[in-house]
């Protein structure tokens, strides 16, 4: 069963380019957890830049943004440095978080089927409960939509 609003968010503990990030370590804060296919690709870069541009607004709403892909922490470090990204990026290279959140799906390109990350976002409240899920995310306008929901959640 895919995760949906009202479900308890599965905990995670992932390496980042400068430390680790875990859901339990962020308890008490709203968490925007977004899954993206690959560092330094056009859509993923635009999404990370969008979250970075809105980072002060997310912080004011009491929210922490965490991006996750199967790239290594070293790759994340290069990606963050190249674009001045301010969001935390967790590496799921050796973790099943992508599968546990239902973001590992069969994809198809030019008739070839393969497994990959479905661009998806989870808004998790300060108690670790999923409040909103976006799947098959299209990057334009997505950050603003997530921010509006995070701000609404902050107001109660």
What confidence score (pLDDT) does residue 156 get? Answer: 79
Report yes or no: 120 and 101 within 8 Å, Cβ to Cβ: yes
Q: What is the pLDDT of residues 1-58, one digit of tens each?
A: 689 999 999 999 999 999 999 999 999 999 999 999 999 999 999 999 999 999 999 9
Q: Within the chain, where are the H helices?
A: 42-53, 55-60, 73-83, 97-100, 142-155
pLDDT of 129 above 80 = yes
What pLDDT digit, counting tens, does each position of 87-118 carry? 999 999 999 999 999 999 999 889 999 999 99
Active site positions, annotated = 44
- pLDDT of 109 reads 87
CB 79 within 8 A of CB 85: yes
Q: How confident is the model at residue 146 (pLDDT cuts 50, 70, 90)?
A: very high
What domains, with CATH codes, occur in the chain? 13-155 (3.40.30.10)
């Amino acid at each position: 069963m895919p995760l949906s609003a009202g479900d308890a968010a599965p905990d995670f503990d992932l390496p980042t380019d400068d430390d680790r990030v875990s859901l339990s370590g962020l308890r008490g804060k709203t968490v925007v957890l977004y899954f993206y296919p690959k560092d330094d690709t056009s859509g993923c870069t635009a999404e990370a830049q969008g979250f970075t541009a809105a980072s002060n607004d997310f912080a004011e709403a009491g929210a922490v943004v965490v991006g996750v892909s199967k790239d290594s922490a070293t790759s994340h470090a290069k990606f963050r440095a190249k674009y001045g990204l301010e969001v935390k990026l967790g590496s799921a290279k050796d973790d099943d978080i992508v599968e546990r959140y239902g973001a590992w799906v069969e994809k198809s390109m030019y008739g070839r089927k393969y497994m990959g990350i479905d661009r998806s976002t989870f808004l998790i409240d300060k108690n670790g409960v999923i409040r909103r899920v976006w799947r098959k995310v299209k990057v334009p306008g997505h950050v603003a939509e997530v921010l509006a929901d995070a701000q609404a959640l902050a107001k109660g």
